[in-house]
Structure 1
Amino acid sequence: MSKKFLIVGLGNIGAEYVNTRHNIGFKVLDFLARKESLDFQTVKLGALAEYKFKGKTFLLLKPNTYMNLSGKAVKYWMEKENIPLENIFIITDDLNLSFGTIRIRKKGSDGGHNGLKNINQVLNTQDYTRFRFGISDEFKKGQQVDYVLGEWDDNEKAKLPERLEIASEIIKSFGTAGLDNTMSAFNGK
């Protein structure tokens, strides 16, 4: 089994997106990087930080391709670092889950998420692990884009640090305890 993992947080680059719900993938990786004193380096198709933990290497990638073209960065770094599909971990927001709810799956559809849709197309498979972070669907009809690209409300902001802590533990567990154990320990938490 490979000891190298590609952990991809989906988001959009630019200051206007930093604190938006859609950027939870970036936020999770930024939290882990701060906690472990890691620095992101600007690299081809994104920003990358390397995290070593219990004999494993985690490459934390924030694609700079914008959400809808995330697959290009995922494929490039998979191939460059020779990382097998089973060691890919994609972190994304999910409107269908209440705020902070965690759902980890071995494979699945894009669920209407444009970042996952592009990854599915570029990799030509849906068989990769995804970590969906619930952002809820508390918006009025026709307001989905504004909601997703909107900033966290005060209640969400207060609860976010605890959820980010759990998310960073999930990443470590994926690489050290394996996917099945990680799903058992964290799904629905």
Structure 2
Amino acid sequence: MSMRQNDSPSTRPASSPEMRERGAERALGLLLLVDLVNEIAPGDPVTAPERWRDVLLRHGADAADLARQPPPHATAVLAAVARLRALFAVREMAELAAHVNPVLAAEGARPRLAEVRPGAWAVRAETDEDGDPALRVLVVGAFALAAWAAERGRIAWGICAAAGCNRTFIDEGRRAPQRFCRPACATRSRVRAHRARLGG
């Protein structure tokens, strides 16, 4: 995948146009997971289900299908988001396996080849339709992250290293691992480090 000329792997914005174009080809759309974790505040059961629905719609979910489904329970949404954020904090493949495998086993996830859009196919995790919607997204999301890590051969995501920022990101770089969620955080961190050196 090409990057814009001025983007480096450590400062590239997580929601690049190239990635948004390819996101639907992955098991769930990794940017969907990023937005769920970044936009649903921990400990806020009042707005969690509504924000959950808004993110799904923004990432291409069918409004009629969502209307026919029972809304996810707020506690289930917050629990799913917390577990997804825990996956974004993982730094080693063995640790990822220890997190993901129990989730997939407990919920009986079944891999299947699915056409995610005309002409684009991906391996997805299928779960029981009767389960809580938030739990289904957790299972499919865990599968998507595991597949992405296996494809890249490393943990290719993270939580922003900038002070005061805890946003998650997906790393699509092919060189140095990405450390920041967006260029603004990388610039702010460089300025902070430079001032610290001058002050020292």
Shorter-normalised TM-score: what interval?
under 0.3
The structure in which a higher percent of residues are strand is 1
- TM-score relative to the length of structure 2: 0.25
Larger RCO: 1 or 2 (CA < 8 Å, sep 6+): 2
The structure in which a higher percent of residues are helix is 2
